[in-house]
Amino acid sequence: MRKAIFPGSFDPVTLGHTEIVARATALFDEVIVAIGANSAKASFFTLDERLEMLRLSFADIPNVRVQAYSNLTVDFARDEGARFLLRGLRTGQDLDYERPIALINRHMDARLETVFFITSGEHSHISSTLVREVIRYGRDAAGLVPPQILPLIHTKQKGVAP
Ligand code: ADP
């Protein structure tokens, strides 16, 4: 069984992420969308909120699983029996950022292959960072995130003043 892990912060999940996952499900038997919970980054959405948004986004895709992990990504992949890591590339800047990470991961586990997906033009301007700004200032995130998570975002907007 070909298992792949799509690791990230998903703070929040966007249409860029869901595009990558949809394309990956055609190539792999199971795609585990995994939130790295030990990252040094402080998050805007809590871990539970991010997990819930991922579950809502992928509820209709049977070979997608949503999971949080707190160890190193390579160790999580090994424990899951996954040999592929998925990452998305929007720009050359993304490639510069991803290259050393992929090489270090391969150094730690030579069987682990990082597979890159180039985003379609339609989604290449979307980042979680920009979507957070839209949300923080009370604007509409429709067209940037999966429609299923909009109610959760509205709830968050009611509780967060800029
Ligand atoms: P991280 O904090 O690990 O970068 P993100 O949740 O920001 O986590 O991103 C997870 C992965 O999704 C990364 O490979 C990132 O490049 C990719 N990604 C983010 N936004 C998009 C997008 N709009 N299109 C394609 N890939 C994207």
- pLDDT tens-place string over residues 34-45: 999 875 678 999
CA of 13 to the centre of ligand 1 (A): 9
Across residues 25-31, what is the average pLDDT? 97
What is the overall mean pLDDT for the chain? 95
Is the CB of 156 inside a 6 Å radius of any atom of ligand 1? no
| Backbone dihedral angles phi then psi of residue 6, each to the nearest 5 degrees | -110, 95
pLDDT attached to residue 160: 65
What tens digit of pLDDT does each residue of 92-103 get? 999 999 999 999
Please give the pLDDT value at position 162: 58
Q: Ligand 1 pocket: which of 5, 9, 11, 17 to mutate (most atoms <8 Å of CB)? A: 17
Q: 117 to each of 22, 36, 38, how far by Cα in Å? A: 11, 20, 25
| The predicted structure's pLDDT at residue 3 | 98
- Summarised one tens digit per residue, pLDDT across range 94-148 is 999 999 999 999 999 999 999 999 999 899 999 999 999 999 999 999 999 999 9
Where does residue 26 rank: exposed (0-12), middle (13-18), buried (19+ CB within 10 A)? exposed
Residue 86 has pLDDT above 80, yes or no: yes
Mean of pLDDT values over 150-155: 97
Which pLDDT score is estimated for 29? Answer: 98
The rounded distance, in Å, linking the Cα atoms of 133 and 87 is 23
Question: What spacing in Å lies between the alpha carbon of 18 and ligand 1's midpoint?
Answer: 10
120: tokens are 């379609």
Rounded to two decimals, what is the model's pTM?
0.94
115 contacts 7 by C-beta, under 8 angstroms: no
Q: Per the structure block, which two tokens stand in for 39? A: 């990252």
